[in-house]
């Protein structure tokens, strides 16, 4: 290693480098990658739709072993040069995003409007869901077990849904001056879905008309809502933002930006040193619970299935103990409107590449699986060697708030893991903002991790 020139003290200073500068000349690749990512975001609004989309795409990539889990989680595995017993390289990301779910008994009529009651899923800011076009995505399972798929409200020729908001003229006593959590209540997030009365009915005129329509169009009855996963999401396609088209605006980028990067990387990985797994899970936004979340034993099942396919006999726990992982999830970007929530020297910036987050958690790192210095050193060396734009980032100032990811659940297996994903503005909003160069840098990082690790 050549000694750094003592006269040039600049070489001792770490200066974050813009991803645009580092990837200069590679703009066509950034654009090509982001075109595909934008169509994925436009097509896919739920974890189920993400799994279907990726499973179909995986059929085009050669050599992948796929393990599905109830249509809501999926893993794509690729064999490596080293024996499976030496451990795998895992990139984990989540497919679920904050949204409104329909309740089991959602339909009611009030003021001759028919509404659907919802219960929000994940951390939403409730006012962001009012007075905007919304779409309904999901499945209804009928009593005979048949599954009705519903996607309504995306195409401009289709009707959409919405939640109304109070007019400013009358908001004085009801809203202004109150605390934000008192003003916007979850129980008021009801979806308007009809107003035309059944002129022959004596009561519930609009509700009857809507139920008749649902029966005609989907063959369902009111009780069928009790066995349904129906999700209310923002209507519309992903968009480029800005005169220079440098940013991406869309619903669900937390965490489909990492899921798409992990999937693309495992599809494109050439002769990885170790077996690689892109693990895409559900339920992260509500604590990774359930049999499709990161706390489930799905990852062990993935390894059993993969080793059987390779005609090997391995113990998944031992393989996982020797594994390395990246927890692909987003971080909050330095916010120009609210810089006071960040500590600038340790905040991630849009356009500065993938953000490596050594620890998450809140109130003194509580709830974090914090990566070891040795693992940080290894990742840093890999990213620098591979020319990947990267930065570090903490989610906000000390004691400002905080958050967690799936990293700690995988760390329980004994593997080394660190959070690595791009930073977003407006995280958890119906229209989240990412940088194109960060999306591409995330893909480059995951691919380098899979191929050269």
Nearest to Mn ion of 282, 416 (CB atom): 282
Stretch that binds Mn ion, among 79-87, 268-276, 306-314, 326-334 (CB under 5 A): 326-334
Number of residues that bind Mn ion (CB under 5 A): 3
Per CB under 5 A, contacts with Mn ion among 153-212 are none
By C-beta, is 287 or 364 nearer to Mn ion?
287
CB 147, min distance to Mn ion, A: 28
Helical packing angle, 253-268 and 436-452, nearest 10°: 40
Q: Which helix (H) or strand (E) holds 369?
A: none
**Residue closest to Mn ion, measured at CB:** 255
Q: Site map for Mn ion, 240-259, x if CB under 5 A?
A: --------------xx----
Asked if 75 contacts 263 with a C-beta cutoff of 8 angstroms, the reply is: no
Using the rule CB under 5 A, is 432 a contact of Mn ion? no
In the complex with Mn ion, the residue whose CB is nearer, 124 or 319, is 124
- The distance of closest approach from Cβ of residue 298 to Mn ion in the complex, given in angstroms and rounded to an integer, is 18
Least Å from the CB of residue 425 to Mn ion: 14
User: Which is nearer to Mn ion, 285 or 416 (by Cβ)?
Assistant: 285
Q: Which is nearer to Mn ion, 236 or 252 (CB)?
A: 252
Shortest gap between Cβ of 282 and Mn ion (angstroms)?
12
User: Closest separation between CB of residue 427 and Mn ion, Å?
Assistant: 7
Between 235 and 405, whose beta carbon lies closer to Mn ion? 405
Residue 424: CB minimum distance to Mn ion, A = 9
Q: Which of 47, 154, 329, 394 binds Mn ion (CB under 5 A)?
A: 329
Nearer CB in complex with Mn ion: 109/329: 329
- Which residues of this chain interact with Mn ion, rule CB under 5 A? 254-255, 329
């Amino acid at each position: 290693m050549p000694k750094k020139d003592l006269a040039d003290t600049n070489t001792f200073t770490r200066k974050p480098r813009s991803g645009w500068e580092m990837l200069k000349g590679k703009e066509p690749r950034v654009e090509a990658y982001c075109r595909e990512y934008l169509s994925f975001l436009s097509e896919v609004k739920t974890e189920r739709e993400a799994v279907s989309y990726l499973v179909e795409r995986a059929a085009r990539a050669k050599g992948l072993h796929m393990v599905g889990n109830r249509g809501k989680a999926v893993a794509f595995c690729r064999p490596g040069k080293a024996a499976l017993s030496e451990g795998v390289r895992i990139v984990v990301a989540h497919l679920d995003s904050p949204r409104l779910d329909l309740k089991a008994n959602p339909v009611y009529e009030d003021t001759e409007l028919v509404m659907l009651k919802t219960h929000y899923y994940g951390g939403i800011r409730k006012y962001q869901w009012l007075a905007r076009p919304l779409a309904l995505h999901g499945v209804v399972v009928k009593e005979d077990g048949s599954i009705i798929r519903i996607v309504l409200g995306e195409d401009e020729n289709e009707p959409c849904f919405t939640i109304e908001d109070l007019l400013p003229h009358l908001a004085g006593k009801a809203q202004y001056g109150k605390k934000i959590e008192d003003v916007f209540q979850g129980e008021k997030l009801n979806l308007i879905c009809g107003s035309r009365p059944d002129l022959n009915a004596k009561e519930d005129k609009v509700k009857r008309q809507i139920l008749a329509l649902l029966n005609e169009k989907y063959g369902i009855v009111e009780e069928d809502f009790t066995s349904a996963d129906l999700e209310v999401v923002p209507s519309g396609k992903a968009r480029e933002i800005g005169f220079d088209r440098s940013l991406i605006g869309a619903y669900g980028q937390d965490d489909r930006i990492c899921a798409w990067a992990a999937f693309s990387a495992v599809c494109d990985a050439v002769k990885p040193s170790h077996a690689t797994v892109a693990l895409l899970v559900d339920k992260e936004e509500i604590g990774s619970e359930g049999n499709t979340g990161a706390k489930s034993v799905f990852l062990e099942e993935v390894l059993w299935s993969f080793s059987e396919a390779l005609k090997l006999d391995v113990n998944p726990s031992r393989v996982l103990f020797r594994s390395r992982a990246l927890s692909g999830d987003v971080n909050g970007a330095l916010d120009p409107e609210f810089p006071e929530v960040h500590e600038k020297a340790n905040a991630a910036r849009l356009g500065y590449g993938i953000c490596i987050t050594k620890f998450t958690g809140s109130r003194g790192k509580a709830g974090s699986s914090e990566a070891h210095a040795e693992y940080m050193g290894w990742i840093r060396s890999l990213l620098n060697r591979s020319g990947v734009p990267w930065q570090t980032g903490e989610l906000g100032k000390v004691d400002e708030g905080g958050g967690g990811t799936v990293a700690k659940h995988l760390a329980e297996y004994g593997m080394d893991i660190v959070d690595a994903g791009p930073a977003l503005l407006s995280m958890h909003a119906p229209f989240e903002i990412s940088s194109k160069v960060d999306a591409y840098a995330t893909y480059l990082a995951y691919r380098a991790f899979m191929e050269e690790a």
